[in-house]
Amino acid sequence: MDFDLNHLRAFMVVARKGNISEAARELGATQPNLGRQMTALSRQVGIELFIRHSRGIDLTRQGKEFLDLCQNIVGRLAQGTDIIREKDAEPQGSFNFVTGLGLTESILENIGLFSERFPKLSFTCTSNFNIYQLIINSYQLHIGEADATVLPEVIFDADFIQRPLIDTVMRVYASPHYLQSYSMPKTLEDLQSHRIILYQGEKQEVLNKQIINESTKNLLRPFIKLLSGPAMRIALINGAGIGCYAYNKEIMDKGLLVDVFPDMPDNIISYYYTYHKRLEGSPKIEVFYEFLKEISKVWERPGKEAVPSKSL
């Protein structure tokens, strides 16, 4: 069965817009012509792709499955074409990166330097603030919607390549302003009289382990529950309470946070630069990995006794 690639791309736009007129405007096509393309595509594949209603159109169940297939085909074709074009050439084209870590801010602060080094490479950063949505991130890589991501997880899938990026050091922090108001706790039990900020989600046990353990889980009640590292950083720096966050040299050098229990063992969480194997050897994958390693140095902490965590 022969497909017109332009028809597949048009179908993806129509599916995203949910309206033929809006899709036609984006594609620079006329509404009748685009409608005929969708009808012809539906007949070609033998699937009813859309359900029409007064507000526009929705995908059928089979239409949603066909959309997944189209995204996979078009995304992989675009990435594969980029790789062929880039081999033995200066990095160029677009680079799509997904992150929800504190790395987002570090990337944006240094992206000017990166663009000076590689002026032919454009950059898109999508923040997935629930960084533990492993299935979503890996799916984006698989269909070519994203080129790379950073995950606190080892993926046991031969289709993906993972390279060590940074071992973050989790500590228990509060702002100086907060500690002036609520005093410095000496033990975990003292946290009963403090505002506790916890991570929520499926990996909360690992992220909160320096505060929540067998002896404290029934004693401490959270003041706030958050989904991401960036949200935790903002809450802590603004004096919302006490919580666990990764050591950051710039934050500590500026005196924005105080290590509440300096003698407590570190909680080490390892992060991996992750991409699909079809991008192996891509110049833009390589240069961005080196860039991330460089800016990640701000998260490195002089070693103390560590308690490594299991992979998230």
Judge if 202 and 261 occupy the same domain: yes
Residues 242 and 292 in one domain: no
Which tokens hold the place of 6? 């332009």
Q: Which one of 72, 99, 120 terminates a domain?
A: 72
Is residue 94 domain-shared with residue 83, that is, in the same domain?
yes
CATH number at residue 185: 3.40.190.10
Question: Cα separation of 190 and 163, whole Å?
Answer: 40
Query: How many CA atoms, within 13 angstroms, populate the side-chain half-sphere of residue 88?
Result: 0
pLDDT score of 302: 73
In whole angstroms, what is the distance from residue 30 CA to residue 171 CA? 58
Q: pLDDT per residue over 208-260, tens digit each?
A: 999 998 889 888 999 999 988 888 999 999 999 999 999 999 999 999 999 99
**Domain range for 51:** 5-72
CB 92 within 8 A of CB 121: yes
* 259, 209: one domain: yes
Same structural domain for residues 114 and 124?
yes
- What's the pLDDT at 223? 94
Whether 106 and 242 share a structural domain: no
Q: Which residues of 116-144 are buried (b: 16+ CB within 10 A; e: fewer)?
A: eebeebebeeebbeebbbbeebbebbbbb
Rounded to whole angstroms, the Cα distance separating 172 from 182 reads: 15
Claim to verify: residue 118 and residue 182 sit in the same structural domain? no
172 and 218 assigned to the same domain:
yes
Return the pLDDT at 195: 96
Pairing mode of beta strands 148-151, 266-276:
antiparallel
Q: What is the pTM of this model?
A: 0.65
Where the chain has pLDDT below 70, the residues are: 1-2, 79, 82-89, 100-102, 127-140, 142-144, 202, 303-312
What's the domain count of the chain?
3
End residue of a domain, out of 49, 72, 95: 72
Residue 175 sits in the same domain as residue 261? yes
Which pLDDT belongs to residue 153?
A: 77
DSSP 281: T
Same domain, 173 and 265: yes
Rounded-to-integer distance, Cα 245 and Cα 293, Å: 20
The verdict on 84 and 64 lying in the same domain is no
Q: Which of 38, 72, 106 is the last residue of a domain?
A: 72
Residues 6+ apart with CB under 8 A from 258: 173, 174, 175, 176, 179, 184
| Residue 81 vs residues 12, 68, 144, 207, 281: alpha-carbon distances, Å | 19, 20, 12, 40, 13
Determine the pLDDT at residue 280.
84
Contacts of 61 (CB under 8 A, 6+ apart): none
- Which residues touch 185 (CB under 8 Å, ≥6 apart)? 191, 193, 194, 242, 260, 261
* CATH assignment at residue 35: 1.10.10.10
Neighbours of 91 (CB within 10 A): 18
- pLDDT of amino acid 290: 93
The full DSSP string for 288-299 is: HHHHHHHHGGGG
Same domain, 86 and 37: no
Residues whose CB is less than 8 angstroms from the CB of residue 300 and which lie 6 or more positions away in sequence, other chains included: 166, 249
Please give the pLDDT value at position 308.
45
